[in-house]
Structure 1
Amino acid sequence: MFLNNDLGPTLEKIFNDSDSLKSLSIALGNASIQNAQIIMGTVEISNISDLHQFVQCTVNFTSLTVELDDGAWVCVGPCQKNPNFCNQQGACQNEINGPHCKCHSSYFEKYYGAQCELYSRGAGFYAVLFGCLVAFALLIIVSAVMIVVFYRAKRTSSKKFELFEDDFFDFTSRGGYGHQNFSVTEDSINTTATEVTDEQR
Protein backbone atom coordinates (compact mmCIF):
# COMPACT_ATOMS: atom_id res chain seq x y z
CA MET A 1 0.00 0.00 0.00
CA PHE A 2 1.24 3.43 -0.98
CA LEU A 3 0.20 5.15 2.27
CA ASN A 4 1.86 2.49 4.42
CA ASN A 5 5.16 2.08 2.60
CA ASP A 6 5.79 4.62 -0.16
CA LEU A 7 4.44 7.96 1.10
CA GLY A 8 7.45 8.81 3.37
CA PRO A 9 10.19 8.15 0.77
CA THR A 10 8.19 10.01 -1.90
CA LEU A 11 7.90 13.13 0.30
CA GLU A 12 11.60 13.04 1.19
CA LYS A 13 12.49 12.85 -2.48
CA ILE A 14 10.27 15.88 -3.24
CA PHE A 15 11.77 18.02 -0.43
CA ASN A 16 15.33 17.09 -1.30
CA ASP A 17 14.85 18.41 -4.85
CA SER A 18 15.80 22.13 -5.05
CA ASP A 19 13.37 22.81 -7.92
CA SER A 20 10.49 21.33 -5.93
CA LEU A 21 11.43 23.50 -2.90
CA LYS A 22 11.56 26.62 -5.09
CA SER A 23 8.09 25.86 -6.56
CA LEU A 24 6.74 25.26 -3.05
CA SER A 25 8.25 28.56 -1.84
CA ILE A 26 6.55 30.47 -4.69
CA ALA A 27 3.25 28.70 -3.98
CA LEU A 28 3.50 29.78 -0.30
CA GLY A 29 4.14 33.44 -1.18
CA ASN A 30 7.97 33.36 -1.43
CA ALA A 31 8.25 31.91 2.04
CA SER A 32 11.65 30.68 3.20
CA ILE A 33 11.79 26.91 3.25
CA GLN A 34 14.61 25.05 4.94
CA ASN A 35 15.49 21.41 4.63
CA ALA A 36 13.82 19.47 7.34
CA GLN A 37 13.63 15.87 8.26
CA ILE A 38 10.31 14.21 7.47
CA ILE A 39 9.03 11.90 10.12
CA MET A 40 6.16 9.64 9.14
CA GLY A 41 3.85 8.23 11.70
CA THR A 42 2.53 4.73 11.61
CA VAL A 43 -0.09 4.32 8.94
CA GLU A 44 -2.25 1.24 9.00
CA ILE A 45 -4.50 1.18 5.92
CA SER A 46 -5.31 -2.33 4.82
CA ASN A 47 -8.28 -1.57 2.57
CA ILE A 48 -9.70 1.39 0.68
CA SER A 49 -12.81 1.21 2.83
CA ASP A 50 -10.60 2.27 5.80
CA LEU A 51 -10.45 5.74 4.21
CA HIS A 52 -14.19 6.32 4.63
CA GLN A 53 -13.76 8.70 7.58
CA PHE A 54 -11.39 10.88 5.57
CA VAL A 55 -13.55 11.16 2.43
CA GLN A 56 -16.41 13.60 1.99
CA CYS A 57 -18.44 15.00 -0.89
CA THR A 58 -17.27 18.31 -2.30
CA VAL A 59 -20.79 19.09 -3.56
CA ASN A 60 -22.90 20.65 -0.81
CA PHE A 61 -26.11 18.79 -1.54
CA THR A 62 -28.41 17.42 1.15
CA SER A 63 -28.67 13.64 1.46
CA LEU A 64 -25.52 12.89 -0.56
CA THR A 65 -23.40 10.09 0.89
CA VAL A 66 -19.94 8.79 0.04
CA GLU A 67 -19.91 5.22 -1.18
CA LEU A 68 -17.48 2.86 -2.87
CA ASP A 69 -18.20 2.19 -6.51
CA ASP A 70 -15.85 -0.12 -8.43
CA GLY A 71 -12.87 0.68 -6.21
CA ALA A 72 -13.45 4.45 -6.09
CA TRP A 73 -15.22 6.78 -3.66
CA VAL A 74 -18.20 8.55 -5.22
CA CYS A 75 -20.99 10.80 -3.97
CA VAL A 76 -24.35 9.06 -4.23
CA GLY A 77 -27.78 10.68 -3.85
CA PRO A 78 -31.19 9.24 -2.99
CA CYS A 79 -32.13 9.03 -6.68
CA GLN A 80 -29.37 6.50 -7.34
CA LYS A 81 -29.83 4.61 -4.08
CA ASN A 82 -33.59 4.32 -4.54
CA PRO A 83 -34.53 3.93 -8.25
CA ASN A 84 -38.22 3.73 -7.26
CA PHE A 85 -38.17 7.08 -5.44
CA CYS A 86 -40.59 8.64 -7.96
CA ASN A 87 -42.73 5.47 -8.20
CA GLN A 88 -41.50 4.98 -11.79
CA GLN A 89 -43.80 7.82 -12.86
CA GLY A 90 -41.22 10.60 -13.02
CA ALA A 91 -37.54 11.56 -13.28
CA CYS A 92 -35.62 11.89 -10.00
CA GLN A 93 -33.17 14.78 -9.69
CA ASN A 94 -30.75 15.46 -6.82
CA GLU A 95 -30.97 19.10 -5.75
CA ILE A 96 -29.45 21.20 -2.96
CA ASN A 97 -32.44 20.68 -0.67
CA GLY A 98 -32.76 16.98 -1.47
CA PRO A 99 -34.26 14.78 -4.20
CA HIS A 100 -36.96 16.20 -6.44
CA CYS A 101 -39.31 14.34 -8.79
CA LYS A 102 -40.25 15.70 -12.19
CA CYS A 103 -43.49 13.81 -12.77
CA HIS A 104 -44.63 12.54 -16.17
CA SER A 105 -47.51 14.41 -17.74
CA SER A 106 -49.29 14.09 -21.06
CA TYR A 107 -52.50 15.20 -22.77
CA PHE A 108 -54.32 12.11 -21.49
CA GLU A 109 -52.87 11.53 -17.99
CA LYS A 110 -50.97 13.39 -15.30
CA TYR A 111 -48.93 12.36 -12.24
CA TYR A 112 -48.20 14.70 -9.37
CA GLY A 113 -47.16 14.78 -5.72
CA ALA A 114 -43.81 14.82 -3.91
CA GLN A 115 -42.98 11.38 -5.32
CA CYS A 116 -45.45 11.25 -8.23
CA GLU A 117 -47.74 9.09 -6.16
CA LEU A 118 -50.96 10.85 -7.26
CA TYR A 119 -52.72 10.38 -10.58
CA SER A 120 -55.41 12.22 -12.51
CA ARG A 121 -56.89 12.11 -15.99
CA GLY A 122 -55.78 14.77 -18.45
CA ALA A 123 -57.99 17.05 -20.52
CA GLY A 124 -57.47 14.87 -23.58
CA PHE A 125 -59.09 11.87 -21.89
CA TYR A 126 -62.30 13.80 -21.15
CA ALA A 127 -62.28 15.34 -24.64
CA VAL A 128 -62.14 11.89 -26.23
CA LEU A 129 -64.74 10.51 -23.78
CA PHE A 130 -67.29 13.28 -24.40
CA GLY A 131 -66.57 13.19 -28.13
CA CYS A 132 -67.39 9.47 -28.22
CA LEU A 133 -70.57 10.02 -26.18
CA VAL A 134 -71.74 12.81 -28.50
CA ALA A 135 -71.00 10.68 -31.57
CA PHE A 136 -72.92 7.75 -30.04
CA ALA A 137 -75.89 10.00 -29.23
CA LEU A 138 -75.91 11.40 -32.79
CA LEU A 139 -75.81 7.86 -34.18
CA ILE A 140 -78.84 6.90 -32.08
CA ILE A 141 -80.74 10.04 -33.16
CA VAL A 142 -79.97 9.50 -36.86
CA SER A 143 -80.96 5.82 -36.60
CA ALA A 144 -84.27 6.75 -34.91
CA VAL A 145 -85.05 9.37 -37.59
CA MET A 146 -84.30 6.88 -40.38
CA ILE A 147 -86.56 4.24 -38.78
CA VAL A 148 -89.43 6.75 -38.49
CA VAL A 149 -88.98 7.91 -42.12
CA PHE A 150 -88.91 4.36 -43.47
CA TYR A 151 -91.93 3.38 -41.38
CA ARG A 152 -93.99 6.32 -42.66
CA ALA A 153 -92.91 5.69 -46.24
CA LYS A 154 -93.99 2.07 -45.93
CA ARG A 155 -97.42 3.05 -44.54
CA THR A 156 -97.97 5.59 -47.35
CA SER A 157 -97.11 3.08 -50.08
CA SER A 158 -99.40 0.42 -48.60
CA LYS A 159 -102.36 2.88 -48.62
CA LYS A 160 -101.78 3.62 -52.31
CA PHE A 161 -101.92 -0.07 -53.19
CA GLU A 162 -105.20 -0.49 -51.27
CA LEU A 163 -106.94 1.76 -53.89
CA PHE A 164 -106.14 -0.78 -56.62
CA GLU A 165 -107.69 -3.86 -55.01
CA ASP A 166 -110.17 -6.15 -56.87
CA ASP A 167 -113.26 -4.18 -55.73
CA PHE A 168 -112.03 -1.13 -57.60
CA PHE A 169 -112.41 -2.93 -60.93
CA ASP A 170 -115.84 -4.45 -60.17
CA PHE A 171 -118.35 -2.65 -62.46
CA THR A 172 -121.35 -4.97 -61.85
CA SER A 173 -123.29 -2.44 -59.84
CA ARG A 174 -122.57 0.63 -61.97
CA GLY A 175 -125.46 1.07 -64.53
CA GLY A 176 -125.25 -2.17 -66.46
CA TYR A 177 -121.63 -1.84 -67.37
CA GLY A 178 -120.75 -4.89 -65.46
CA HIS A 179 -119.29 -7.97 -66.94
CA GLN A 180 -121.81 -10.03 -69.01
CA ASN A 181 -121.34 -13.31 -70.75
CA PHE A 182 -121.90 -12.73 -74.42
CA SER A 183 -122.12 -15.83 -76.64
CA VAL A 184 -121.60 -15.25 -80.33
CA THR A 185 -122.49 -17.85 -82.92
CA GLU A 186 -122.18 -17.93 -86.68
CA ASP A 187 -126.03 -17.80 -87.17
CA SER A 188 -126.39 -14.67 -85.10
CA ILE A 189 -123.67 -12.99 -87.12
CA ASN A 190 -125.47 -13.86 -90.40
CA THR A 191 -128.82 -12.67 -89.02
CA THR A 192 -127.39 -9.39 -87.98
CA ALA A 193 -125.78 -8.93 -91.35
CA THR A 194 -129.10 -9.67 -93.12
CA GLU A 195 -130.98 -7.13 -91.00
CA VAL A 196 -128.44 -4.47 -91.83
CA THR A 197 -128.77 -5.07 -95.60
CA ASP A 198 -132.59 -4.97 -95.37
CA GLU A 199 -132.56 -1.65 -93.65
CA GLN A 200 -130.23 -0.25 -96.28
CA ARG A 201 -132.72 -1.11 -98.96
Structure 2
Amino acid sequence: MRKNAENFMSSKDQKTPEEHQPDEIVMEQHDEVDAADTADQVDPRDEQIANLEKQLAEVQQREQDNVLRARAEMENLRRRTEQDVEKAHKFALEKFVNELLPVIDSLDRALEVADKENADMASMVEGIELTLKSMLDVVRKFGVDVISDVNVPLDPNVHQAIAMVESEEVAAGNVLHVMQKGYTLNGRTIRAAMVTVAKAKA
Protein backbone atom coordinates (compact mmCIF):
# COMPACT_ATOMS: atom_id res chain seq x y z
CA MET A 1 0.00 0.00 0.00
CA ARG A 2 2.70 2.41 0.89
CA LYS A 3 4.63 1.35 -2.14
CA ASN A 4 1.66 2.09 -4.39
CA ALA A 5 1.34 5.55 -2.86
CA GLU A 6 4.98 6.33 -3.57
CA ASN A 7 4.57 5.13 -7.13
CA PHE A 8 1.55 7.41 -7.51
CA MET A 9 3.45 10.41 -6.14
CA SER A 10 6.42 9.80 -8.40
CA SER A 11 4.19 9.48 -11.43
CA LYS A 12 2.45 12.71 -10.50
CA ASP A 13 5.76 14.55 -10.25
CA GLN A 14 6.76 13.41 -13.70
CA LYS A 15 5.64 15.93 -16.38
CA THR A 16 5.72 16.04 -20.10
CA PRO A 17 8.50 18.15 -21.81
CA GLU A 18 6.03 20.97 -22.41
CA GLU A 19 4.96 20.94 -18.76
CA HIS A 20 8.61 21.20 -17.68
CA GLN A 21 9.10 24.42 -19.75
CA PRO A 22 8.98 27.60 -17.71
CA ASP A 23 6.09 29.98 -18.31
CA GLU A 24 8.44 32.71 -19.61
CA ILE A 25 9.77 30.48 -22.40
CA VAL A 26 6.27 29.57 -23.46
CA MET A 27 5.28 33.25 -23.59
CA GLU A 28 8.32 34.10 -25.69
CA GLN A 29 7.43 31.39 -28.17
CA HIS A 30 3.90 32.77 -28.45
CA ASP A 31 5.30 36.29 -29.00
CA GLU A 32 7.59 35.03 -31.77
CA VAL A 33 4.68 33.35 -33.48
CA ASP A 34 2.61 36.54 -33.24
CA ALA A 35 5.51 38.61 -34.61
CA ALA A 36 5.94 36.22 -37.53
CA ASP A 37 2.24 36.41 -38.29
CA THR A 38 2.39 40.23 -38.16
CA ALA A 39 5.43 40.34 -40.48
CA ASP A 40 3.63 38.19 -43.02
CA GLN A 41 0.71 40.62 -43.09
CA VAL A 42 1.12 43.70 -45.43
CA ASP A 43 -0.54 46.85 -44.25
CA PRO A 44 -2.62 48.18 -47.19
CA ARG A 45 -1.95 51.71 -45.97
CA ASP A 46 1.77 51.24 -46.66
CA GLU A 47 1.00 50.28 -50.25
CA GLN A 48 -1.27 53.30 -50.66
CA ILE A 49 1.43 55.59 -49.27
CA ALA A 50 3.99 54.11 -51.67
CA ASN A 51 1.62 54.65 -54.62
CA LEU A 52 0.92 58.22 -53.58
CA GLU A 53 4.63 58.93 -53.22
CA LYS A 54 5.25 57.51 -56.69
CA GLN A 55 2.44 59.61 -58.18
CA LEU A 56 3.79 62.71 -56.42
CA ALA A 57 7.26 62.08 -57.82
CA GLU A 58 5.82 61.70 -61.34
CA VAL A 59 3.82 64.93 -61.02
CA GLN A 60 6.87 66.80 -59.73
CA GLN A 61 8.95 65.49 -62.64
CA ARG A 62 6.29 66.57 -65.14
CA GLU A 63 6.09 69.99 -63.56
CA GLN A 64 9.88 70.35 -63.70
CA ASP A 65 9.89 69.30 -67.37
CA ASN A 66 7.13 71.82 -68.12
CA VAL A 67 9.06 74.60 -66.40
CA LEU A 68 12.25 73.77 -68.30
CA ARG A 69 10.31 73.61 -71.57
CA ALA A 70 8.64 76.95 -70.90
CA ARG A 71 11.98 78.56 -70.09
CA ALA A 72 13.49 77.20 -73.30
CA GLU A 73 10.55 78.49 -75.35
CA MET A 74 10.80 81.91 -73.74
CA GLU A 75 14.55 82.04 -74.43
CA ASN A 76 13.97 81.08 -78.07
CA LEU A 77 11.24 83.71 -78.37
CA ARG A 78 13.49 86.34 -76.84
CA ARG A 79 16.32 85.42 -79.22
CA ARG A 80 14.02 85.50 -82.26
CA THR A 81 12.60 88.83 -81.18
CA GLU A 82 16.08 90.29 -80.80
CA GLN A 83 17.02 88.99 -84.25
CA ASP A 84 13.85 90.44 -85.77
CA VAL A 85 14.50 93.80 -84.15
CA GLU A 86 18.11 93.73 -85.34
CA LYS A 87 17.01 92.91 -88.89
CA ALA A 88 14.38 95.64 -88.75
CA HIS A 89 17.03 98.15 -87.73
CA LYS A 90 19.46 96.97 -90.39
CA PHE A 91 17.08 96.72 -93.31
CA ALA A 92 14.42 99.31 -92.53
CA LEU A 93 16.01 101.59 -95.14
CA GLU A 94 16.02 98.96 -97.90
CA LYS A 95 12.89 100.28 -99.59
CA PHE A 96 14.10 103.87 -99.30
CA VAL A 97 17.51 102.98 -100.78
CA ASN A 98 15.83 101.15 -103.65
CA GLU A 99 13.92 104.34 -104.41
CA LEU A 100 17.19 106.29 -104.44
CA LEU A 101 19.02 103.95 -106.81
CA PRO A 102 17.41 105.30 -110.02
CA VAL A 103 18.48 108.82 -108.99
CA ILE A 104 22.05 107.65 -108.40
CA ASP A 105 21.98 105.81 -111.75
CA SER A 106 20.85 109.00 -113.49
CA LEU A 107 23.76 110.94 -112.01
CA ASP A 108 26.16 108.19 -113.11
CA ARG A 109 24.84 108.26 -116.67
CA ALA A 110 24.99 112.06 -116.75
CA LEU A 111 28.68 111.90 -115.91
CA GLU A 112 29.30 109.19 -118.50
CA VAL A 113 27.81 111.21 -121.37
CA ALA A 114 29.05 114.61 -120.25
CA ASP A 115 31.71 116.24 -122.41
CA LYS A 116 34.40 116.69 -119.77
CA GLU A 117 36.71 118.29 -122.30
CA ASN A 118 34.29 121.17 -122.86
CA ALA A 119 35.27 124.04 -120.56
CA ASP A 120 31.77 125.45 -120.71
CA MET A 121 30.40 122.30 -119.07
CA ALA A 122 33.13 122.01 -116.44
CA SER A 123 31.09 123.63 -113.69
CA MET A 124 28.06 121.45 -114.47
CA VAL A 125 30.16 118.27 -114.46
CA GLU A 126 31.73 119.28 -111.19
CA GLY A 127 28.30 119.92 -109.69
CA ILE A 128 27.07 116.49 -110.78
CA GLU A 129 30.17 114.81 -109.36
CA LEU A 130 29.78 116.59 -106.01
CA THR A 131 26.07 115.73 -105.85
CA LEU A 132 26.77 112.07 -106.59
CA LYS A 133 29.60 111.94 -104.07
CA SER A 134 27.48 113.56 -101.36
CA MET A 135 24.61 111.16 -101.99
CA LEU A 136 26.89 108.11 -101.84
CA ASP A 137 28.54 109.40 -98.67
CA VAL A 138 25.12 109.71 -97.04
CA VAL A 139 23.91 106.22 -97.96
CA ARG A 140 27.24 104.69 -96.90
CA LYS A 141 26.62 106.02 -93.40
CA PHE A 142 23.56 103.77 -93.27
CA GLY A 143 25.36 100.61 -94.41
CA VAL A 144 25.09 100.93 -98.20
CA ASP A 145 28.10 99.80 -100.24
CA VAL A 146 28.65 100.18 -103.98
CA ILE A 147 29.64 97.18 -106.11
CA SER A 148 31.66 98.62 -108.99
CA ASP A 149 35.11 97.00 -108.87
CA VAL A 150 36.58 95.43 -112.00
CA ASN A 151 39.19 92.71 -112.37
CA VAL A 152 37.80 90.90 -109.33
CA PRO A 153 36.50 87.31 -109.31
CA LEU A 154 32.88 86.96 -110.35
CA ASP A 155 30.72 86.58 -107.24
CA PRO A 156 27.21 85.30 -108.00
CA ASN A 157 26.03 86.80 -104.73
CA VAL A 158 26.70 90.36 -105.90
CA HIS A 159 27.28 90.07 -109.66
CA GLN A 160 24.94 89.31 -112.52
CA ALA A 161 26.90 88.28 -115.62
CA ILE A 162 25.26 89.38 -118.85
CA ALA A 163 28.08 88.50 -121.26
CA MET A 164 31.52 86.93 -121.55
CA VAL A 165 34.17 88.76 -123.51
CA GLU A 166 37.62 87.61 -124.55
CA SER A 167 40.37 89.57 -122.82
CA GLU A 168 44.12 89.45 -122.44
CA GLU A 169 44.28 92.13 -119.73
CA VAL A 170 41.84 90.56 -117.27
CA ALA A 171 42.04 87.01 -115.99
CA ALA A 172 39.38 84.61 -117.14
CA GLY A 173 36.44 84.53 -114.76
CA ASN A 174 37.05 88.07 -113.48
CA VAL A 175 34.81 91.09 -113.96
CA LEU A 176 35.81 92.89 -117.14
CA HIS A 177 33.32 95.74 -117.16
CA VAL A 178 30.49 97.00 -114.93
CA MET A 179 27.42 97.82 -116.99
CA GLN A 180 25.35 98.88 -113.96
CA LYS A 181 26.60 99.29 -110.41
CA GLY A 182 25.29 97.06 -107.68
CA TYR A 183 24.52 97.89 -104.06
CA THR A 184 24.42 96.07 -100.74
CA LEU A 185 22.77 97.12 -97.48
CA ASN A 186 24.51 95.82 -94.36
CA GLY A 187 25.90 92.92 -96.35
CA ARG A 188 22.62 92.04 -98.07
CA THR A 189 22.53 92.51 -101.83
CA ILE A 190 19.69 94.83 -102.76
CA ARG A 191 20.76 95.00 -106.39
CA ALA A 192 23.39 92.88 -108.11
CA ALA A 193 25.88 94.59 -110.40
CA MET A 194 25.38 93.86 -114.10
CA VAL A 195 28.79 92.93 -115.46
CA THR A 196 30.64 91.40 -118.36
CA VAL A 197 33.07 88.62 -117.52
CA ALA A 198 36.47 88.02 -119.09
CA LYS A 199 37.26 84.77 -120.81
CA ALA A 200 40.47 83.49 -122.29
CA LYS A 201 41.04 83.97 -125.99
CA ALA A 202 40.48 80.88 -128.08
Q: Aligning the two structures, in what range does the TM-score lie when normalised by the shorter sequence?
A: 0.3 to 0.5
- Using the size of structure 1 for normalisation, the TM-score is 0.34
Bigger relative contact order, structure 1 or 2, given CA contacts below 8 A and separation 6+? 2
With structure 2 as the length reference, what TM-score do the two structures score?
A: 0.34
Could you say which structure has the larger radius of gyration? Answer: 1
